[in-house]
Chains A and B, each alone.
Chain A
Amino acid sequence: MSHDSGSSAGAGVESLSLDLLAHALAGVRDPRDRKSCRLASRAFARAEAASRRAARVLRREALPRALRAFPALSSLDLSACAGLDDASLAAALPVPGSSAEPPGLLLPVRRVLLARASGVGWRGLEALVAACPRLEAVDLSHCVAAGDREMAALAAAGLRELVMDKCLGVTDVGLAKVAVGCPGLQRLSVKWCREISDIGVKLLAKKCPELRSVDISYLKVTNESLRSLSTLEKLEDIAMVSCLFIDDDGLQMLSMCNSLQSIDVSRCHHVSSLGLASLIDGQRFLRKINAAHSLHEIETCVLSKLSTIGETLTVLRLDGLEIFASNLQAIGSTCKNLVEIGLSKCNGVTDDGIVSLVAHCCDLRTIDVTCCHLLTNDALAAIAENCRKIECLRLESCPFISEKGLEPIATLCSHLKEIDLTDCRINDAALQHLASCSELLILKLGLCSSISDEGLVYISSNCGKLVELDLYRCSAITDDGLAAVASGCKKIRMLNLCYCTQITDAGLKHVSALEELTNLELRCLVRITGIGITSIAIGCTSLIELDLKRCYSVDDAGLWALSRYSQNLRQLTISYCQVTGLGLGHLLGSLRCLQDVKMVHLSWVSIEGFEMALRASCGRLKKLKLLGGLRSVLSTELLQMLQACGCRVRWVDKPLVYKG
């Protein structure tokens, strides 16, 4: 579309009022585009702020300003806000009822994400609830110290959605507070909150009749909980992964609920085909069933019941079960609308089974046959022939799949977005075929030692949308292959080059051109030095995660560059690198978002060096991995400080061995 710049005698953009400009900018969704708008002009910056619905704040210093600048803010993501604690959260929020703040200035925020914000406790949550009268949804997962007091604070908000996975301190008491305070609760997830028992679930079911989605995975609850949940008339979605005290009787009780759309009983070792069959019986809306690693084998009672939901069933996961060709034939003929099938690690899956399955299920978009060792290229031919809409193929560890099998896939399945060929015996010809899949986003080639630069040249010629590339232990890859990738696949965000030992600093210079790179794994690249790391640090400004374990030649100079340029870095592994105490101190002191550091066997760092470096990190670190021997030599004061700041330390005892 060609448009003249505003040189004609028409109106200029200044003629648009702020509201109109905000309305126009509301249509700009991509976060990077919105950032560009903010830099275009003052008016644009104001309009962008006025129309912004979602914000993700990375620094706690920016929080007060962010909350005041976005009057239309609906979703606030604080899960990556480094160092966020009660004091800073409360200070940033408007206080209701104070003389300076009429209620109208309270925040319109409806959804707050606080996953892993371990510094936030009940004080901060109380301030949050008071400042956001429209608050509906909170995600507090992985705040392992959160307990009943935090739940009490949230209960005052009358929430509709609450995710409290891994809030290990929560008991039935806290759950009861939430149940009573949030009668309109529709979605609740309490995965891993193992203090919760049947009593808590019973009260929950009684007080929250609107519940639609419940996740009780990994809890020690029994069938009684299922009896309680079965009274929920609107229940659509239930997950009970690895609930080892639940068995067939419980599923029978749950079958009273006939509005179920999605059930997940994976890893429930005491659930058998009979139980699953009785649950499916009478359901009319069931769309998803995940029974992975549960039933030992799939019996006819279940297969016959599948025919009653054959029209609605779209997702079926039976990973880890014994499945034979006749079973797949039965599934295919009854469940013709399947969109996703999971058969990873299923013994007994053969070409015949896959052929008969896909002959009926032409709408399949995801097929997972990881570790189905018997499959050959014939299975791929059948998939290509019948499932033209296929988007995701997981073929890890299928040793008889070769490049020949990928040819029909590449030719006939133009929608392919994700393919996992880890540990398959394929060569560059496979990549030559796959190059025609221009929609490809994720390509996993780990352990494919026959892949070389030639293959990467093919891929980079046409797969411009590629976002994730895994070349773990593809030892034939050299710098030239990386040159091709960097020029053809500019949108790559995740790149794994571990053990591709031929790569040198020149290769990393090419990688530095990937501006959107966020995760980079470079384990055991013994030839790279600080020069390569410097170019990465300067070029890849979005870098969040970097793994340099066993890069023996990387020294202080390289890490100095990271300290200076990689301000978004959150996770770093520098075990076995040649860093000294000075470099380490600089690193931990400068990177304000750094939360997770693995530094085992830093032989050049003295004890004083560790002491100073860890103190420099000032309470920002949340996860640390250190050599076990240090535990007895680091000062108690330091260890206490780390603990007080919510940092979890893992002490490992690994022998000092040089590889590569």
Chain B
Amino acid sequence: MAAAADSSGDGGTSSGEKTIVLVSSDNSARFEVREAAALLSQTVRRMIDEAGADASGDGITLPDVDAKTLAKVLEYCNKHAPASSSSSAAEAAPPAEGEEDLERFDREFVRVDMGTLYSLVTAASYLKIEGLLNLTCQTIADMIKGKTPEQIRKTLGITSEFTPEEEDEVRRENAWAF
């Protein structure tokens, strides 16, 4: 898992690239990642811009992302980060891996339990990582395809608070309004 990033030692990766330290909400875990990977998050990018040069020492604390989710998010970022580390080119440069490889990674990446998936959606939204947000949202959408309401509830872990009258009304509307 992303714990490997922890043990890579101080002072950057072996290629001498700049790294950034990200800290989870409960302060329980610190992750050192390549700058190019961290900058996939627009939120992190903004935090770095605002904090200036001081932040890089203590690490950037992300108050809304817990350790487990942060680890998973960084797994995604590391894989999808562009090859070059220059921050201005980070958006334009293609990822280091091939496209098929990435697709396979994405498919495996979202094979998680629903709780983790929901946390990822929230984290991706907070961190403003467009690729991850689209991936997780599309995964949820795909899980809904072809299912009855009861099946949707079961798969996504929802309880229906509909009263029978409310449910009837929705059914009526479904018949008349679409």
Instruction: State how many angstroms separate the Cβ of A80 from the closest Cβ of chain B.
Output: 10
Instruction: State how many angstroms separate the Cβ of A533 from the closest Cβ of chain B.
Output: 21
Contact in complex: A36, B118 (CB < 8 Å): no
Contact with A6, one of B143, B157, B171, B174 (Cβ below 8 angstroms): B157
**Interchain CA distance A482-B134 in the complex, whole Å:** 44
The residues of B that contact A233 with a CB separation of less than 8 Å are none
Contact with A12, one of B115, B125, B178 (Cβ below 8 angstroms): B115
Stretch of A54-62, A99-107, A137-145, A161-169 contacting B (4+ beta carbons < 8 Å): A54-62
**Interchain CA distance A244-B147 in the complex, whole Å:** 53
Contact with A38, one of B153, B158, B174 (Cβ below 8 angstroms): B174
Q: Which residues A1-32 have CB closer than 8 A to chain B? A: 1-13, 15-17, 20, 23-28, 30-31
Contact in complex: A10, B161 (CB < 8 Å): no
Contact in complex: B118, A13 (CB < 8 Å): yes
At the interface, yes or no: B142 with Cβ under 8 Å from chain A? yes
**Interchain CA distance A31-B136 in the complex, whole Å:** 21
**Interchain CA distance A20-B119 in the complex, whole Å:** 11
**Interface residues of B, dominant DSSP:** helix
Stretch of A40-48, A360-368, A504-512 contacting B (4+ beta carbons < 8 Å): A40-48
Contact in complex: A27, B178 (CB < 8 Å): no
At the interface, yes or no: A308 with Cβ under 8 Å from chain B? no
**Interchain CA distance A61-B169 in the complex, whole Å:** 13
At the interface, yes or no: B137 with Cβ under 8 Å from chain A? yes
Interface residues on A, range: 35 or more
Q: Which residues A50-81 have CB closer than 8 A to chain B? A: 55-59, 61-62, 65-66
The chain B residue sitting closest to A7, CB to CB, is: B157
Contact in complex: B143, A40 (CB < 8 Å): no
The residues of B that contact A283 with a CB separation of less than 8 Å are none
Instruction: State how many angstroms separate the Cβ of A78 from the closest Cβ of chain B.
Output: 11
Contact in complex: B158, A41 (CB < 8 Å): yes
At the interface, yes or no: B138 with Cβ under 8 Å from chain A? yes
The chain A residue sitting closest to B147, CB to CB, is: A36
At the interface, yes or no: B159 with Cβ under 8 Å from chain A? yes
Contact in complex: A13, B114 (CB < 8 Å): yes
At the interface, yes or no: B140 with Cβ under 8 Å from chain A? yes
At the interface, yes or no: B4 with Cβ under 8 Å from chain A? no
- Return the CB mask of B135-165 against A: 1 if under 8 Å, else 0: 0111011111111110011111111111000
Contact in complex: B177, A24 (CB < 8 Å): no
Instruction: State how many angstroms separate the Cβ of B41 from the closest Cβ of chain A.
Output: 16
At the interface, yes or no: A39 with Cβ under 8 Å from chain B? yes
Contact in complex: A27, B141 (CB < 8 Å): yes
The residues of B that contact A30 with a CB separation of less than 8 Å are 145-146
At the interface, yes or no: A414 with Cβ under 8 Å from chain B? no
**Interchain CA distance A33-B176 in the complex, whole Å:** 16
Contact in complex: A28, B145 (CB < 8 Å): yes
The residues of B that contact A1 with a CB separation of less than 8 Å are 110-111, 142-143
**Interchain CA distance A13-B154 in the complex, whole Å:** 12
Question: Assuming the A-B contacts A4-B114, A57-B177, A568-B175, are A20 and B138 also in contact, with contact meaning beta carbons closer than 8 angstroms in the complex?
Answer: no
At the interface, yes or no: A37 with Cβ under 8 Å from chain B? yes
**Interchain CA distance A43-B137 in the complex, whole Å:** 16
Contact in complex: A41, B122 (CB < 8 Å): no
Instruction: State how many angstroms separate the Cβ of A600 from the closest Cβ of chain B.
Output: 31
The chain B residue sitting closest to A52, CB to CB, is: B178
Instruction: State how many angstroms separate the Cβ of A1 from the closest Cβ of chain B.
Output: 6
The residues of B that contact A31 with a CB separation of less than 8 Å are 178
At the interface, yes or no: B49 with Cβ under 8 Å from chain A? no
Contact with A3, one of B141, B143, B177 (Cβ below 8 angstroms): B143
At the interface, yes or no: A567 with Cβ under 8 Å from chain B? yes
At the interface, yes or no: A35 with Cβ under 8 Å from chain B? yes
Contact in complex: B160, A41 (CB < 8 Å): yes
Contact in complex: B173, A10 (CB < 8 Å): no
Contact in complex: A41, B146 (CB < 8 Å): no
Contact in complex: A15, B122 (CB < 8 Å): yes
The chain B residue sitting closest to A44, CB to CB, is: B158
At the interface, yes or no: B116 with Cβ under 8 Å from chain A? yes
Instruction: State how many angstroms separate the Cβ of B68 from the closest Cβ of chain A.
Output: 8
**Interchain CA distance A62-B113 in the complex, whole Å:** 39
Contact in complex: B177, A23 (CB < 8 Å): no
Given A27-B140, A41-B162, 6 more A-B residue pairs with CB atoms under 8 Å apart are: A3-B112, A3-B143, A11-B119, A35-B178, A36-B152, A40-B153
26 A-B pairs within 8 Å (CB atoms) are namely A1-B110, A1-B111, A3-B112, A3-B114, A5-B155, A6-B156, A9-B115, A10-B114, A13-B156, A13-B158, A15-B118, A15-B122, A20-B122, A23-B137, A30-B146, A35-B174, A37-B152, A39-B160, A39-B171, A39-B174, A40-B152, A40-B160, A58-B176, A58-B177, A62-B176, A62-B177
Q: Could you list which residues of chain B lie within 8 angstroms of chain A, going by C-beta atoms? A: 110-119, 121-122, 125, 133, 136-138, 140-149, 152-162, 166-167, 170-171, 173-178
